[in-house]
Amino acid sequence: MTEKHDFEERYLEGDPPWDTGRPDRGLGQTIALHSIRPCKVLEFGCGTGQNAIYLAGLGFDVTAVDISETAIKRAMEGLVRGLEVNFQVANIIDGPIEGGPFEFVFDRGCLHSFDTPSGRMACSKAVAENLADGGLWLTMAGNGDDPDTMSGPPRLTGREILEAVEPSFEVLELKRSRFDSDNAPLIWSCLSRKRS
């Protein structure tokens, strides 16, 4: 996994490429398509908070964490009046996040930051530990199966995602998509349900 200081440096140096300044449209599409109702949600790797703020605007009870103090500070500064998000500097790998258990967990580009199978398995296990039984996890990760000449995020194959997710989760949907960003890299969007 990329080290904490690396993420902090990226935020201190300027706008990191994954920070688009808007919520990812794939999140909204998944919520609509799967009729995910407002509930307690955790976003980990929330960055400057656009997705968390978007979810709060839809009526979700949102906790959002990131390992970068600078990102969380910017997220709190960008919080729209009248909306509440519990922003925290935290790492999901370090133990349960305050406010859980959650019914929905979202990450945009965190699973693929773990560069070993054991790291991805630890991430999946940490997500499961923060979810109520039957809770949903939506992860978006760079797509290592499709040819793509553009630069972009780390990439995982569909098999690598399934190997990390399936021990604790039932995969409901694994589909090819693109990040909602200016360079639009190819991704996998994986929605899964925690096994009882």
Q: What is the pLDDT of residue 3?
A: 59
List the domain boundaries for the chain. Answer: 4-194
User: What end-to-end distance do the CA atoms of the chain give, in Å?
Assistant: 28
Looking at domain 4-194, its CATH architecture is 3-Layer(aba) Sandwich (3.40)
pLDDT along the chain (196 residues), means of 10: 65 74 91 97 96 98 96 91 95 95 96 93 97 97 77 85 95 89 79 95
Amino acid in position 183:
N
Residue with tokens 């199978």: 117
Per DSSP, the three-state class of 34 is coil
Using CA atoms, how far apart are residues 181 and 103, in angstroms rounded to an integer?
27
Q: What is the pLDDT of residue 148?
A: 64
Per DSSP, the three-state class of 140 is strand
Rounded to a whole number of angstroms, the CA Rg of the chain reads 15
Helix (H) or strand (E) holding 9: helix 4-13
